[in-house]
Chain A
Amino acid sequence: MLTTLFENQLVLGAAQALAALAAAGLVVLVARWRAVHLWREMWVAMVRGLTQVVVVGLALVTIFNGPLWLGIPLLMLMMTAGGVIAARRVTGVPGMLRVTLVTISLSSGIVIIVMTLVGVIEKDLTSIIPIGSMLIAGSMNTATLALERFKSELESHTGQIEAGLSLGASARSVVEPYVRQAVQASLIPVGNSIRSLGIVWIPGLMAGMILSGVDPVYAAVYQFVLMVMIFCSSGLTALLCTALASRQVFTPADQLRVRQEIH
């Protein structure tokens, strides 16, 4: 309907954004009816998301024509933003910003560098930036899920953790089961994405490649490769951030540092 009403792409885009926002507003109203307050969260996320994506969309034209080295500061900027966003989600545990910054940068950075060196990601800003951003976003989401779950496991098992410590167990040993659960839980979304690839979810990258004339089989395989790269980066993130966080929540004398913060 909208496509027949508006010919100008900018006006059409604005109308489509308004329609999508109206649908999101309905969801917020339904949530409010169930005493779940999403308004502030949604409002901030939507405005930020729209502004950021429009600015980046405009900038991408210039960026894609720029020199290859420009990819490094841009990816670093994305990693930093991802680290800050992930850390903000995990409140009450000290030192989480450092954990998320180190984790997201290292895990997505390693996958981007290795895959670019072996030729899976083309040495071209048009490949490095969009694929890098997908890996960084995957790492950011995984870090948030892993740290949230780890924190909630600590909160609900404080008694058992301290019982273990008082029996002479090391901090590493007492949190091991909770680290395992946090890692497994944080990788559920990426696992589901790979499992549902092509059945529940037809990814944009693959669709775009097919539309631009690439062999459909190659496009499909490349999409799978991308998902595996996201899994690698997310898996590294989950392992690394829980390892760093579990050191962060104990003092050097193996005392549960977060006890005061979470109770």
Chain B
Amino acid sequence: MDNQPILETLELSRIVGGVAIVDRVTITVQRGDVLAVLGPSGAGKTSFLRLLNRLDEPTSGEVLVGGRDYREILPDKLRRSLGMVMQQPNLFPGTVADNISYGPAQRGEVMQTQEIEALLERVNLAGFLSRDVAHLSGGEAQRVSLARTLANNPQVLLLDEPTAALDDDSRQDIEDLVMEIIQAQGLTCVLVTHASSQALKMAGRALVMEQGRVIRTGSVAEVLDVDHTL
């Protein structure tokens, strides 16, 4: 049972307007793995991540979560379990606390102020509780977005280029923060990025996508070495 992968895709595809934007992708993610999904713009990385969170429906293939077909799991429960952080923070109007407590509130749970404070401390935003999200910097907003996802206690963290919209300093901060949280909690993570340096820093394994297909897979070092030889 312990060897059961936490997340698997089998020949997963999504076809839109006759074009396969994700084309027969098969991956296995073990508990505690950090898997980087690399590739150029338009390779299908984000589309693949959206399929994992079931924000889009696969045309064919399967996604297994803990060995179970994810269509058997209620969408809200599945999405809490596979927490997603998007490229843009997409915060809801209101305070930082409103945003952090949003996920638990959806299942009728009220987060205590101390719990929110503790989460904010983990993302280095102590004291931001009642701050209006309209006044946050890009980096702060992305930290709130990360904390908001973590408030659901996900089993797997799906990160869709979470630093793409940030400047160099903020990107570095978020990378360090995510690494710290992943290591501290032993979280499983699928990270979409187009930056090989980010993959090298954060992930253990990687796959490269091109035109919706996986063209290479292995350890990050192997995958990037192959790149260098091209």
Interface residues of A (CB under 8 A from B): 159-160, 162-170, 173, 251, 253-256, 260
Residue pairs across A and B with Cβ atoms less than 8 A apart, 23 shown, are A159-B88, A160-B91, A162-B86, A163-B91, A165-B79, A166-B53, A166-B79, A166-B83, A166-B86, A167-B83, A167-B103, A167-B152, A168-B103, A169-B76, A169-B103, A169-B106, A170-B76, A170-B106, A173-B106, A251-B57, A253-B71, A253-B75, A260-B16
- CB-defined interface of B144-174 with A at 8 Å, one 1/0 digit per residue? 0100110010000000000000000000000
Within 8 A of A (CB), among B99-129: 102-103, 106-107
List, in ascending order, chain B residues with CB within 8 A of A173's CB. 106
In the assembled complex, the CB of B15 is this many whole angstroms from the nearest CB of chain A, namely 12
In the assembled complex, the CB of B138 is this many whole angstroms from the nearest CB of chain A, namely 14
* B181 lies within 8 A of chain A by Cβ: no
In the assembled complex, the CB of B166 is this many whole angstroms from the nearest CB of chain A, namely 16
* B84 lies within 8 A of chain A by Cβ: yes
Q: Which of A159, A251, A254, A255 contacts B90 (CB 8 A)?
A: A159
Q: Is the CB of A255 within 8 A of B57?
A: yes
- CB-defined interface of B48-75 with A at 8 Å, one 1/0 digit per residue? 0000011111000000000000010001
- The 5 residue pairs across chains A and B that have the minimum distance between CB atoms: A163-B90, A168-B80, A159-B90, A167-B103, A166-B84
Q: Is the CB of B80 within 8 A of A167?
A: yes
Contact-residue bracket for chain B: 20 to 34
* B201 lies within 8 A of chain A by Cβ: no
In the assembled complex, the CB of B179 is this many whole angstroms from the nearest CB of chain A, namely 22
Q: Is the CB of A164 within 8 A of B76?
A: no
A170 to B102, CA, bound (A): 12
Q: Is the CB of A165 within 8 A of B102?
A: no
Q: Is the CB of A164 within 8 A of B102?
A: yes
Q: Is the CB of B76 within 8 A of A254?
A: yes
Q: Which of A160, A165, A255, A256 contacts B92 (CB 8 A)?
A: A160
List, in ascending order, chain A residues with CB within 8 A of B88's CB. 159
Given contacts A254-B75, A254-B76, A260-B16, contact A165 B90 (CB under 8 A): no
Given contacts A159-B86, A254-B75, contact A166 B92 (CB under 8 A): no
List, in ascending order, chain A residues with CB within 8 A of B77's CB. 168
A191 to B79, CA, bound (A): 41
Residue on A with the closest CB to B107?
Answer: A168
Given contacts A160-B92, A162-B55, contact A169 B102 (CB under 8 A): yes
List, in ascending order, chain A residues with CB within 8 A of B90's CB. 159-160, 162-163
